[in-house]
Structure 1
Amino acid sequence: MKDFFYAIQDLFVDYLFWPFDVLRELDLNNWWLSNIVSWTFTIISLVAFVYWMKQLKGYNDNNEEDKSVTAHEYL
């Protein structure tokens, strides 16, 4: 079981966090370049949120959702 946790450690430390290591080694003084990973995740999240809201609006416009009070048994 110990090898399993070491494998997870290797995955994160050696592969998934390498962009942060590169940015730390560059010792950037520019705020925009230092936060490029955060901005990338923010943009991806914003695009996903807009897509999800468009899908919800499409279902709402088609009246596909049962909005009655007795839609669920526990109500």
Structure 2
Amino acid sequence: MKDFFYAIEDFFVNVALAPLAQLAKLELENWWAANLFSWVFVIITMVAFVYWMLQLKKHSDNNEEDKSISSHSFL
């Protein structure tokens, strides 16, 4: 069973999180290049949020949502 957990550790340290270890090394050399990774995700998140809000507004303007006050039939 101990080997199983060592295999999981080996996978995450040497395979799955290896790109993040490279970013940690890069941060010592160039702060801007290391943070580019974070800024890309921030921009993607902002674009997705704006798209989602525009879709919600479009559906709200079409009156597609049931806005009745009743909640559940058993209440």
Q: CA RMSD in A?
A: 2.8
Q: Deviations over 1:18-52 (max 9, x none)?
A: 22221223332x33212122112211211211111
Structure 1: tracts of 5 or more residues without a match: none
CA–CA separation in structure 2 for the residues paired with 1:21 and 1:55: 38
Structure 1 residues 17 and 65 mapped into 2: Cα distance closer, same or farther (>3 Å)? same
The answer for the alignment partner of 1:53 in structure 2 is 53
Q: Which has the higher contact order (CA 8 A, sep 6+)?
A: 1
Aligned residues: 72
Q: What TM-score does the superposition give when structure 2 sets the normalisation length?
A: 0.67
Listed as ranges, the gaps of 5+ residues in structure 2 are none
- Pairwise mapping of residues 1-75 of structure 1 onto structure 2 (< 5 A)? 3=4, 6-7=7-8, 10=11, 12-26=12-26, 27-28=28-29, 30-70=30-70, 72-73=71-72
Bigger Cα Rg: 2
| Letter in structure 2 aligned against 1:60 | S
